[in-house]
Chains A and B, each alone.
Chain A
């Protein structure tokens, strides 16, 4: 099932952390296993990295704390080694890091160096994108990572009901479009030509952190963006390139886009005003952040919509 949500403020930053938490919490029944966020902050801190040092389910295993300390040390060492000037390193939880670095080299090389450390995964990288995902419901994850204070222009989120893989962070959305900074995707549905696209993208040198079909949407779109295709065109082309049922939301540094497959099999409810757009799998999520009577609509099949800041 799974639930997806997104919000974009076209008139400047808002309380996106609090808003997307309320939206996702109201859809907890669509997915109680894990919750994920992709938020866009004000930027200006250089590059922001969100890194997972270990999966929380491993807590309590032999040498857990020593492993984390060793990995943390290794991450900072390797960042310095690839020429990144490390600014701040916050341990948001014992197994999750938020680091700001000054770096203008090859992002893929930086990420590969970090991910070469056993157990480590770069959840997001970019000048303003920050991905937070963990087990538990939206409020639990938001509290753990202090997201209520997050101020930004746009955000998306996902509540997951694990059906095809384990309940762990690797299977949680949103997916960052490694190795392209500032692009992330949440998806509700199943892609039937996943393996085909995965092989195609792997041939171009991309790595996948999970077995999840949603991850290829992010890389597929980012690959197009990197080749100079506009987000509108990329999202439209995905309607022909991706098979299966899907409603996905993609975010970049300055845009938010959605696409719905040609069978219109997965729900999406949209609320749009001049200053903001909110969308979710269920209207109840939009009503969690709008306190007055509103008019919403469902996009039709093969609709591809993009809003830009």
Chain B
């Protein structure tokens, strides 16, 4: 369990957050490959340890966590295919660096949900805070409500689908992947984006530096129809506009250092 229990040898903890001796509380009711537990009264670390115990050692494929209570950093670092259902809301930095799980959250999530997510599907029924899907690498992240500022900052792949409105600097410094915003977006859409595409169904307050509108192609419409349909959004794809990088700030050649070496 060395990979599960860290923080040994801790010498300074001003904020009292570390729990070096925390162990999985073993409170889940397990029924075959399904399990559920109530997170009320459990610390962040206990909840995460219980999740890991069930998914990595308990042979469980589907976990329901009741009353997560908007605690931070829940469900992080799960690197296998499974399904997790949160009945309630998550705080900040939930579901970071996950690779594989299918997650549903019945409430909302705070800032920086699914940071650096590699693959899997996350569906949040209500709102999300800022930095939603920061540095997302893959998978689908669906927020049915509104999201805050800087959605998909530094996004490197995957899809972020927002049912409501998005705040300022949506797609800031985005490098790859796509975002589908059904509602309106705040100022500075796609500011300094390198690549990727942002589809917006509502109004755009204004565009960021080097972000331009492009015509929707047949392939775009197909992607939109598929993604919107998959998650039950009935908005017609024809009403969307597409925004991409204008590439006027591209002041470097497009070769990776390794590729340049090959050519030169």
Contacts and interface: CB of A to CB of B under 8 A. Distances in A.
Interface footprint category on B: 20 to 34
Contacts of A286: 70
Interface string B138-149: 000000011011
A267 B71 CA distance: 15
Interface in A251-309: 262-264, 267, 269, 282-284, 286-287, 293, 295-298, 300-301
Contacts of B110: 267, 269, 282-283
Contacts of B148: 264, 298, 300
A247 to B, nearest CB: 12
Contacts of B130: 264, 267, 298
B127 interface: yes
Interface string B7-49: 0000000111100000000000000000000000000000000
A132 B17 CA distance: 26
A282 B71 CA distance: 9
Interface in A28-87: 28-29, 32
Given A264-B130, A264-B149, A284 B168 contact: no
- A283, A295, A297, A301 pick with most chain B CB within 10 angstroms: A283
Contacts of A269: 110, 129
A287 B70 CA distance: 8
Contacts of A287: 69-70, 89
Interface residues of A, number: 21
B127 A297 contact: yes
Interface string A170-181: 000000000000
Contacts of B88: 293
Contacts of B89: 283, 287, 293, 296
A301 B69 contact: no
Contacts of A284: 69-72, 91
A297 B127 CA distance: 7
Nearest to B127: A297
Contact of A28 (B16, B70, B129, B186): B16
B167 interface: yes
A267 B186 contact: no
Contacts of B129: 267, 269, 298
Nearest to B148: A298
B92 interface: yes
Interface string B78-119: 000000000011011000000000000001101100000000
A158 B69 CA distance: 21
B102 to A, nearest CB: 22
A297 B146 contact: yes
- B72, B89, B150 pick with most chain A CB within 10 angstroms: B89
Contact of B149 (A282, A283, A297, A300): A300
A138 to B, nearest CB: 13
Given A29-B16, A263-B149, A282-B70, 5 more contacts: A28-B15, A32-B16, A295-B107, A296-B108, A297-B127
The 9 closest A-B pairs by CB, nearest first: A283-B70, A264-B149, A284-B70, A29-B15, A298-B148, A300-B167, A301-B168, A298-B129, A29-B17
Interface of A: 28-29, 32, 161, 262-264, 267, 269, 282-284, 286-287, 293, 295-298, 300-301
